[in-house]
Amino acid sequence: MSPTDAPVPPTGGDPLAPREAGASDAAVLLSARGLRKSFGANEVLRGIDFSVRRGEVVTLIGPSGSGKTTVLRSLNGLETPDAGTLEFDGGPAIDFARPASKGDRLAMRDRSAMVFQHHNLFPHMTVLENVVEGPIRVQRVPRAQALAEASALLERVGLAEKHDQYPHQLSGGQQQRVGIVRALALKPDLLLFDEPTSALDPELVGEVLKVITELADEGWTMVVVTHELQFAKQAADEVLFMDGGVIVERGAPEDIFTKPREERTRRFLDRILRPLD
């Protein structure tokens, strides 16, 4: 083992701790105003406004095609809105009325990390290599530090013994947990989850939701697109119900799930929550 590969203790404290832990929960981390996005003649987002405070979990629910994933991809710079603004931590707003610069997109990606439906792991890399790829190549973290922090993260989610295995050797739930660790390794301000359990067999859903719930309890700031309504009810600070490219209703989970104000929300919840005959 070369000196640069020698393990060293993780720096900066607990690698699973949220960046800038201890900041005021009242501080607005992200503010989105008037986001619009069209794909050809299909207007997917029609004026999206919401804010996320530090340490807050915001869940997006709604029918397929309502624009939820496009919202997430817009926050991470994977999609560029046609109009509207994004503001991180009270800094300069990114105004999409003008073409977003490369610097704007990089700034968005530096502040957030996304966990995808299908984990998107590199099949030719081991679990450990998948986790350290971003910190080493993108953030220029010293290799020894990245390896030590990745090992600690994998241990925290119960995957320490899997570090030298390849994605195809893991279960779907294990692969998704690696995807979560890969996002955490970037130490983002904001974690974005796009239907993180939708591609899993039912018996594997619980192990992934357990990790996400623990992250919420530890104070990570998250925006989660999910169809797991029980998770949204238990873990979210605010629920946004989307339909037709707009936020139809927003509120605390107990309000959205027990006394929704809007008829569209009630119809959606009745359809999803109605007991099977």
Final residue of a structural domain among 187, 210, 230: 187
Q: Are residues 170 and 51 in the same domain?
A: no
Burial state string for 23-50 with b = 16 or more CB within 10 A and e = fewer than 16: beeeeebbbbbbbbbeeeeeebbeebeb
Q: Does residue 10 have a pLDDT over 80?
A: no
SS3 of 186, please? coil
Q: Which of 54-68, 102-116, 210-224, 232-246 has the lowest mean pLDDT?
A: 102-116
C-beta of residue 86 within 8 angstroms of C-beta of residue 49: no
Please state the domain count of the chain. Answer: 2
Same domain, 180 and 206: no
Based on the fold, state whether residues 107 and 214 are members of the same structural domain: yes
For the cut 70, the answer to whether the pLDDT of residue 6 exceeds it is: no
Beta bridge partners, 221, equal 190
Which pLDDT value is given to residue 202?
Answer: 84
User: Residue 5: what pLDDT?
Assistant: 40
Q: How many percent of the chain have pLDDT more than 90?
A: 72
Mean predicted lDDT score pLDDT of the chain? 88
Q: What is the pLDDT of residue 15?
A: 58
In order of 29, 32, 86, 93, the CA distances from 90 in angstroms are 7, 12, 10, 8
Query: Domain ends where: 156, 187, 218?
Result: 187
**Domain containing 234: what range?**
27-111+202-276
Q: Has residue 17 got a pLDDT over 80?
A: no
List, in sequence order, the alpha helices (H) in 141-199. Answer: 143-156, 172-184
Residue 107 has pLDDT above 90, yes or no: no
pLDDT in tens, 145-201: 999 999 999 999 999 999 999 999 999 999 999 999 999 999 999 999 999 988 888
* pLDDT for the residue numbered 20: 53
The pLDDT, as a whole number, for residue 71 is: 97
Same domain, 159 and 51: no
Of 71-75, 88-92, 257-261, which gets the smallest average pLDDT?
88-92
Q: How confident is the model at residue 43 (pLDDT cuts 50, 70, 90)?
A: very high
Q: Residue 14: inside a domain, yes or no?
A: no
Q: Is residue 8 part of a domain?
A: no
Question: Is the domain of 35 the same as that of 104?
Answer: yes
Say if 160 falls within a structural domain. yes
Give the model's pLDDT for residue 231.
Answer: 92
Res 92: pLDDT? 85
Residue where the block lists tokens 């890969």: 182
Beta bridge partners of 43: 38
What's the token pair of residue 96?
A: 């999409």
Distance separating alpha carbons of residues 182 and 119, to the nearest angstrom: 10
* pLDDT recorded at residue 58: 97
Give the pairing of strands 57-61 and 221-225: parallel
**What would the pLDDT profile of 212-222 be if each residue is shown by its tens digit?**
999 999 999 99
What count of Cα atoms within 13 Å lies in the side-chain half-sphere of residue 117? 10
Beta strands across the sheet bearing 238-243: 112-115, 190-194, 221-225, 57-61, 238-243, 246-251
For 44-81, the pLDDT digits (tens) are 999 999 999 999 999 999 999 999 999 999 999 899 99
pLDDT at 12 over 70: no
Both 211 and 232 in a single domain?
yes
